[in-house]
Structure formats: structure tokens, C-alpha cells
Amino acid sequence: MSRMVFVPMKLKEDSRISFFKMLGTGGGYGYSFTPDFSTYALLTVWEGEDEAKQFESDSDVMRRFHRKAREVYSIFMRPVQSRGKWSGVSPFTPVQPHDEKAPMAVLTRASLKPYYYLPFWSRVGKVSRSHASSQGTLFTKGVGELPWINQATFSAWESFSDMQAFAFGAGTPHLEAIQNARKRKGFREELFAWFIPLFTRGSWKGEQPI
């Protein structure tokens, strides 16, 4: 818990980082109303791959994580496309060509308006269950800055078409949830970005899901 306070203070001192977020996570599969107090996420955006590798290998922040954690899993990615904003900025600059047959990762993020808290969470269970059974899912975890209000989901897929079928397929719970949110103007801010995973370090529950 203390890292949620002290890590942002430390990262503000590093001029090579253009954007970062220290995030809590949700329990269960994907979104969950119950937080997962055993797992935390750190999102960082770097000038280049070498800087990201050096941070992951040698920084005081990561050394402290490794000392305290049972397990650490790092995913290095390049952005392919990004729409929307996070904290008023567009954090990801696309630099990687898009290969629809290659594995991909997706980050979706939404900040909810107060009147939309209950309508949003009433749909979460159905979307989460559909995600668990979706073809091509490699990995998923719900993350967020503020429980129940500022939410995000990170997921990885075998291909672009698998992600499209889950997120935007006709009649799918996810598409219905998006359409309802747009109709009711339930988001104060939202972002959708996808990436090409380059490589990973460490493990997730003893495995290499991506």
C-alpha cells in the first residue's frame, strides 16, 4: 500500500518517463467489484526501449518491488493505436506497424460520472463472464486508480480479430455496455489503446501467459 504513495513521488524525478500510473487491481477475472489487495500494477511510458529495460532491471523502484513481492511480471510493448485521454493527456504515441495476425495487448480506461456508477457495475459481471470464455484470450486483469470510479482493463490476445470479436462483435455484452455508456454519456474520460507485445520478464502465477 505504501508503494501507491511513494512510487509516484520517485517517478516524478525521472525525466525519461513521459507518463506513469500506479494502479490497484480487481479480483476475479477482468473487472470485479472486489479489489485484489495482493496485486498492484505500474504503467510507465518511456522515450525508448533501452530506458525501459534499464528501469526494469536496475531502478530502486523495481528492486523494492522484488524485495516485497512473491512474483513480478513485466510486459514490454509498443503502441499501435490510441484514442482518448487519461488525466487530460494522450499518453501513447503509435510507433509500431499493425499486424492483425500478431498477438496484441489492449488497455481500456474509463472515469465514471457519479450517476453512472450503478449502471456501469450492473453490467460488469456479464462482460467479465463473456471475457473468460472468449476465444483467443491470453491474459486479462482489471486495474484502476480509484476503486469503483476510475477503472481500466489490460488484456492480451492471440490476434486482432479475437479482440475485435469480443469487444465489438454484434450483440456481445461488451459492445452493449459501450453503447449504453455512450448513450447515457456515463464517462467523464475514456481511453482505448492497443499494443504489440515485444517480450516479458518474470512470471504470472508461475507461467508465461503472453
How large a percentage of the chain has pLDDT more than 90? Answer: 45
* Residue 163, number of CB atoms within 10 A of its CB: 22
Structure confidence at residue 110 (pLDDT): 86
pLDDT of 27 reads 77
Give the integer Cα–Cα distance in Å for 209 and 205.
9
Q: What is the pLDDT of residues 175-185, one digit of tens each?
A: 777 777 778 88
Set of cell numbers at residue 84: 482518448
Q: What is the pLDDT of residues 61-96, one digit of tens each?
A: 999 999 999 999 999 999 999 999 999 999 999 987
Strand ranges inside the chain, DSSP E: 17-26, 35-46, 73-84, 104-112, 137-146, 150-157, 187-202
Domains of the chain: 3-200 (3.30.70.100)
Integer distance in angstroms from the first to the last C-alpha of the chain?
27
What is the per-residue pLDDT for 116?
76
Q: Tell me the average pLDDT across 134-143.
A: 87
β-partners of residue 78 are 196
User: Number of helices and strands (H, E) in the chain?
Assistant: 6, 7
Quote the CA–CA distance of 184 and 115 in Å, as a whole number.
Answer: 10
| pLDDT in the model for residue 115 | 84
**Contact by Cβ (8 Å): 131, 166:** yes
Tell me: the pLDDT tens digits for 5-51?
A: 889 888 998 889 999 999 989 876 656 667 888 999 999 999 899 99
